[in-house]
Structure 1
Amino acid sequence: MNKKVTTYDISNELGISRNTVSKALNNHASISEETRKKVIEQAIAMGYNKIIPGSSERPAISRSTKCIAFLTRIDVSASGYWMNLMSGVEDVLRGSGYDMKMSFIKDEDIISLMVPPMLNSTIDGFIVVGMVNKAYTEKLLEHSLPKVFIDLNAELPLTDLKTDLVLMESEESVYQITRHLIESGHREIGFIGDINSRSLFERWMGYSRALHESSIPQNPNYCITSTHSTSYQSFEGMADTLGALDQLPTALICGNDLMALHAIRFVKENGMRVPEDIAISGFDQMKETKLLDISLTTVTNDEFQLGMRAAEELLYRMQRPNRPFEVIRLSTKVCFGESTRTTRA
C-alpha cells in the first residue's frame, strides 16, 4: 500500500520548506499567489487530501488538467544530455496541451518499492528515464497508467513487455567500432559499462559479436561490466577500476562518452598516450568531448529527438491502449575520430 502524502513529500518535490508548503495550503497571507498556486498544483497532483476549502479555487486549478509525469533517478540538471532529453519531452507535451511534472525516484523508494505518489492522482501517463533495478521496474510496469520507458533493466525480456520502450540504436554502432579496431590490428580489446542497462547491454552485444566473428577470444580481465555503474561514472571510480587491472588492453570501448573522458584522463595521468598506447571510444557525442586535444570516436545520439519520440509514443499509447506494445530504436551514426586511429602489427 502506498504511503499517505504529507507536506514533507510536497516540500521535497518542490524544493521549498515544509513551513512554506503548510502556509500555502492554509491560505496564509504571507505566501505569494504564485507560490500558493505552485504548492496546490503539486498537492493535487500527488493526491494530498487535506487542501483547505477555497485554496484550490484561488489559483483556479482543476483536477481535469492534462498532466504527464517524468520519473527519473538521474540528476538531469547536472548534465546537458539529460536536460536536452527532458526538453524534447516537454516540447511535444506542451504542443499537445499537457503539463509535465517531474518526480525524482529516491533510493529509499526503490528499496521499499514505493511508486511516486503523483501516479495515484490526476496524472494521465508517465515516462521513465534511466535504468532502475528489476524489482522496481516491475513495480512500475504493474501500474495501470499508460507508460513509456527510455532504457530498461536488461534482466527483463522484451517479449510480453507491458510498456513501450524507446532507445537509441546501439548494437550495430559498437559492432562497427569494434570491427574497426580489429581491422587496425587490435586483439586485446576491452569493454566497460553496466550491462544491466538495456542500452549498454546492446552495446556489449555489438562488441561481443565483432570479436566472435573474428575468432578473437574475449578476455574477461578486460571486460568491466559491474552492475555498480557509479563506480566508473566518476573519474575517481574509473581510476580505481582501471588501476586495479594487471594490464590494460590495447583498446577500450566505453559505454558512453563520460566513461571515455575519464578513461582518457587516467591514461594520460599515467604517462600513456591515446591512441598510441591505448585506443578509446565512447558513445553519445557529448559536447564535453570537444575539450579534448584529440577527436573522440563516438556515436551520434540526438537526445532531444529521443525525448520527443518518447513523448510522442506515450500520447499514441494513451489514444490506442489496446495496440501492441512497441520497442523503438532511433538510428545512430558512428563518428570515427583520432582516439582510435592506430594500426598495430
Structure 2
Amino acid sequence: MITIYDIAKKTGFSPTTVSKVFNDYSDVSAKTRRKILEAAEQLGYLPNAHARTLTTKRSWTIGVLYVEPSGAGILHPYFAGVIEGFKQVATARGYDLMFISKDIGGKKRSYLEHCKIRGVDGIVVILPDYADPYFLELLDSSIPCVLLDQESELKSTVCSDNLEGSLRAVEYLYRLGHRKIAHIGGGDTFSGNRRLQGYMQAMEKLGLPVNPEHVIQGSFDYTVESGRAAMEQLLRAGERPTAVFAAGDNLALGAMMALKERGMKVPGDMSVVGFDDIEMAKYLTPSLTTVRQDTYALGNRAADMLIYTIEGGEGIRTDILPVELVIRESCRSL
C-alpha cells in the first residue's frame, strides 16, 4: 500500500508537508501542492477518508437539496447543468455530494435532521421552496448553505440576471417591429416574478401598453402543458398578440405546440421567445430564439461560495450571473 512516506520520498518533501496537502492546510504553496498531488496520482495513492475527517473535523461531504415539483427530478434540464458545474468544483476540492431528503430509512425527518445525521459540512439548495417549513428550519440553522434561484437575507444566493434577460427579449421583439407583445409567466416563483418584472419594465421603457389579457401565468413548474394552456388562453383574447415572450423554454415549447394545433405557424403567425436555452431549443422546428442562462457557471459559482463559507469565510453574498440572447428562427420582422 502506498503511504505518505512513499510520496515524501519521491518528491523530496517532508511527510508533514505531504500530510498538510491531503488535509487541505492553507500554508502550502500552490507549486508544492501540485507536485505532491501529481506524485500521488502517479503512485496511485488513495488518502484515508476517515483519517482526514478526524484530522480536519469535517466530513468532506456536501448535501444537495433539490426541490423540483414537476416530476422530472434530476432529468430536469436546469438541474443537470447546475449539478454538473457544482460537482466539478466540489470534487476538485475534495468533497463528495449527497442528496438530502426528509425520508431516511422509511422514517420522516426534517432536512436539518438529515444534515445532522449525515454530518454534512454544508448544503446547496436548488430551486428552494419557501412554503416548506422544513426548508425554513434549515435556512435558520448554522449549517453553511447556498441557495440557487432565490433571494435571502440569511444565506448567500446565486442566480441568473432574470431582469436583464427579459429586457433583452422584449427589446429584440420591439426592434423586429412587434408592438403587441404577450408574456407567459413562470408562476409565483423567484425567477418567474423576476422575468415578469423585466417584461413589465421593458414594456414601460418602450412606451408599449400592457394588455391584461396578454399576461398569462403558466404553472410554477414551467411545464410544456401549462405553456400550451397559456397560449390557448392568449388566442381567445379580444386582441391577438403578434409575439410572446415565455418565462421558460418548456413554456415556449407548449405555446408553439398550441399554435401548431390551431393550424398557425411560428414565426409566420406569431413570434416566440423563450428563456433558459435548454438543449432541445436548437432542435425545434423552427429553432427557438431564447435567453441563455449558463447553468454550468451557476453550479460553479455556488460551489465556490459554499466551500468558502465551509472553510471559514464570512459574509452573505448575492451573485447575479450574466445572460445572453440567442437568436434563432422563431421570430420574424413585421
Normalising by structure 2, what TM-score?
0.73
Match of 2:145 in 1: 147
Structure 1 residue 286, shift from structure 2 partner = 1.2
Alpha-carbon separation, structure 1, partners of 2:195 and 2:231: 20
Amino acid at match of 1:221: E
Structure 1 residue 80, shift from structure 2 partner = 4.0
Q: What is the Cα-based RMSD across aligned positions, in Å?
A: 2.5
Matched, 1:94 2:95: no
Matched, 1:117 2:113: yes
Q: Which 5+ residue runs of structure 1 have no aligned equivalent?
A: 1-58, 107-111
Alpha-carbon separation, structure 2, partners of 1:221 and 1:329: 31
Alpha-carbon separation, structure 2, partners of 1:294 and 1:272: 13
| Aligned counterpart in structure 2 of residue 337 of structure 1, from 318, 321, 328 | 328
Alpha-carbon separation, structure 1, partners of 2:311 and 2:126: 21
Alpha-carbon separation, structure 1, partners of 2:191 and 2:228: 24
Which is greater in Rg?
2
Q: Which 5+ residue runs of structure 2 have no aligned equivalent?
A: 1-48
Match of 1:238 in 2: 227
Alpha-carbon separation, structure 2, partners of 1:259 and 1:187: 21
Alpha-carbon separation, structure 1, partners of 2:102 and 2:201: 35
Structure 1 residue 60, shift from structure 2 partner = 6.8
Query: Is the alpha carbon distance of 1:183 and 1:105 closer, same or farther for their aligned partners in structure 2, counting shifts above 3 Å?
Result: farther
Amino acid at match of 1:187: R
Alpha carbons 1:67, 1:100 under 8 Å: kept = yes
Question: 1:136-285, aligned counterparts within 5 Å?
Answer: 136=133, 137-152=135-150, 161-225=153-217, 228-230=219-221, 233-235=223-225, 237-245=226-234, 246-247=236-237, 248-285=240-277
Structure 1 residue 90, shift from structure 2 partner = 1.3
Structure 1 residue 116, shift from structure 2 partner = 5.1
CA displacement, residues 182-218 of structure 1 (integer Å, 9 cap, x when unaligned) = 2323222111122532223222222111111122221
Amino acid at match of 2:293: N
Q: Secondary structure at the match of 2:100?
A: strand
Structure 1 residue 105, shift from structure 2 partner = 6.4
Amino acid at match of 2:99: M
Alpha carbons 1:276, 1:342 under 8 Å: kept = no
Match of 1:326 in 2: 317
Query: Is the alpha carbon distance of 1:285 and 1:116 closer, same or farther for their aligned partners in structure 2, counting shifts above 3 Å?
Result: same
Alpha-carbon separation, structure 1, partners of 2:267 and 2:132: 41
Amino acid at match of 2:202: A
Structure 1 residue 77, shift from structure 2 partner = 2.9
Alpha-carbon separation, structure 1, partners of 2:50 and 2:121: 20
* Deviates further, 306-315 or 133-142: 133-142
Query: Is the alpha carbon distance of 1:288 and 1:134 closer, same or farther for their aligned partners in structure 2, counting shifts above 3 Å?
Result: same
Amino acid at match of 1:220: P
Structure 1 residue 113, shift from structure 2 partner = 9.9
Amino acid at match of 1:215: G
Alpha carbons 2:111, 2:138 under 8 Å: kept = yes
Amino acid at match of 1:65: S
Alpha-carbon separation, structure 2, partners of 1:116 and 1:289: 38
Structure 1 residue 221, shift from structure 2 partner = 1.4
**Identity of paired residues, percent?**
27
Alpha-carbon separation, structure 2, partners of 1:163 and 1:60: 29
CA displacement, residues 90-145 of structure 1 (integer Å, 9 cap, x when unaligned) = 11111111111012469xxxxx9943532223111100001413454533311210
Structure 1 residue 310, shift from structure 2 partner = 0.4
CA displacement, residues 273-304 of structure 1 (integer Å, 9 cap, x when unaligned) = 11121111011211112221223211222212
Structure 1 residue 167, shift from structure 2 partner = 0.6
